[in-house]
Amino acid sequence: MKKIESLIVKTFAVALILLMVSVPLMPKASAYTVQQIPPTTVFPSTNKITGTPGQIVDVDINITNVPGIFSFQAFLVFDPTVVKCNDVTDGEFLKRNLGSTMLFPTIDNTNGVAGGGVGRFSPQADESGSGQLMRITFEFIANGFTNLHPRDIMLLNIANFEVPTKIVDVYTANYLGTNYDIKIVGNAIGQVITLPDLYITGYTKYGVEPINIGSYRGQFKFNITGIGVNSDAGPLDFAYANVTIPKSLMWCTALADWGVLIDEVLCPTKYVHDNSTHTIVSFEFTYSTADPVKMVKIQSTNIVPEFTTMLFAIMLALATLAAAVFGKITWTVKRKS
């Protein structure tokens, strides 16, 4: 009986050790700083809508802190199996100061694209500040949700120069049956007119996956397509993106352990900081009309696994405890007999 009790104690101790080593350490504060980016932002009022068939949802495309624009174009990409677009209307921003505008709407419920361009006729002056650029009305045709991805965002001033801005996008990754929202903020804007008509600017081809590359076990990858602008002088020679990832999905024990690859090349300009629930990975890279599509991979040393070491340790501990109780009862019964 003593040998059995000794074996149970040893097995339970091993289970506890596995449980302790499987608990991830919380990252320490980072010495990195976040790259400063232009103040103008274009973003939908929500990046994800959820509903039931027949439900109507209005989504605004908004702008903040713009120094001045005279016209713009903006589109949202959606899941056409979940919603359809019923209407596109221009917002109040360019109608201020008795402004008159013309909308050129686009509704493509086959490919899931809605938006358009808006031009101002009068007054002959830029409008600055913050406000509503456009409203897009969706109707749910199935239960579920869809992300709303900004695409082909372009802001022009009265001199017909593109105004630098950043856009806000969200990708909902369904990983092992759980949804995780990953936010991307960057300057994937502008038009490259030399490329085919199917060319769009923005973020595409998202994916979250487990990997086994060196110390890396998790990866979020996506494409950045487009060109950035620096000023009236024209295209800039670098671009940037800030990616916010839930710690419940991917994490590193030290912030410096995060990896960023751009077209399979390690990105040297990486800035990482965090809060209690998310990690923000920021980076810069070369961006040009000659090379407008970049594949980005953000890699972590940990990703929520299908069957964790912690779960295994807990189950082992419970099984050991059950065996101990059963063994004790059996031994007692035999002894009384």
Domain boundaries, the chain: 1-25+320-337, 41-163, 168-306
Instruction: Give residue 319's pLDDT.
Output: 57
What sign does the CA torsion over 248, 254, 257, 258 have? positive
pLDDT at 58 over 90: yes
User: How many CB atoms are closer than 10 A to CB 108?
Assistant: 13
Strands 234-235 and 239-246: unpaired
d(CA 260, CA 266): 6
Q: Kindly report, residue by residue over 142-192, the tens digit of the pLDDT.
A: 999 999 999 989 999 999 988 888 899 999 999 999 999 999 998 876 544
Q: Which residue has the higher pLDDT, 151 or 239?
A: 151
Q: Closest Cα to residue 172, out of 48, 304, 260? A: 48
pLDDT at 286 over 60: yes
DSSP structural state of residue 39: S
Q: Kindly report, residue by residue over 91-125, the tens digit of the pLDDT.
A: 999 999 999 999 999 999 999 999 999 999 999 99
Edge-to-edge strand ranges of the sheet holding 239-246: 83-90, 127-140, 56-69, 41-44, 166-175, 178-186, 239-246, 278-285, 270-274
Strands 166-175 and 41-44: parallel
Please tell me the CATH code under which domain 41-163 is placed.
2.60.40.680
User: How many CB atoms are closer than 10 A to CB 18?
Assistant: 16
CA R_g for the chain? 26
